[in-house]
């Protein structure tokens, strides 16, 4: 696992649509994010989408988003809505959330 960024400089808020629930999406995203050293969370939404919020350097976040698309998850994604925000520094790790 890569060392976490001391103070994140960027934040991405991403919504994935498609057959993204029940295919290991959250756990794969978590594994990839931890390998890179990003902070944040990923969770299923009641409407069938997956929401991912991550903080770190822009380069590392872009790598995560690219790695997700290149992984086996890519074939399940039909739409990606990504917005860049100011980091809130609210995370201490990257984890899967289980609530809606």
Residue 38's contacts (CB-CB under 8 Å, 6 or more residues apart) are 4, 5, 54, 55, 56, 60, 61, 64, 94
In order along its 100 residues, the chain shows pLDDT tens digits of 555 556 889 999 999 999 999 999 999 999 999 999 999 999 999 999 999 999 999 999 999 999 999 999 999 999 999 999 999 999 999 999 986 5
Q: Which residue has the tokens 């890179």?
A: 36
Check residue 7 and give its pLDDT.
84
18 phi-psi bin (left φ>0, alpha ψ -120 to 50, beta other): left
Residue 61 and residue 12 in contact, taking contact as beta carbons nearer than 8 Å? yes
Active site residues: 26, 44
Domains (range + CATH), the chain: 19-92 (3.30.70.100)
């Amino acid at each position: 696992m890569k060392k976490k960024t001391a103070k994140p400089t960027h934040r991405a808020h991403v919504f994935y649509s498609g057959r993204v629930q029940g295919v290991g999406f959250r756990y794969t995203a978590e594994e990839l994010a931890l390998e890179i050293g990003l902070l944040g969370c990923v969770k299923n939404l009641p409407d069938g989408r997956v929401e991912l919020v991550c903080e770190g350097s822009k380069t590392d976040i872009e790598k995560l988003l690219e790695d997700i698309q290149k992984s086996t998850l890519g074939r399940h994604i039909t739409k990606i809505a990504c917005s860049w925000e100011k980091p809130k520094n609210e995370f201490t790790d990257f984890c899967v959330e289980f609530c809606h």
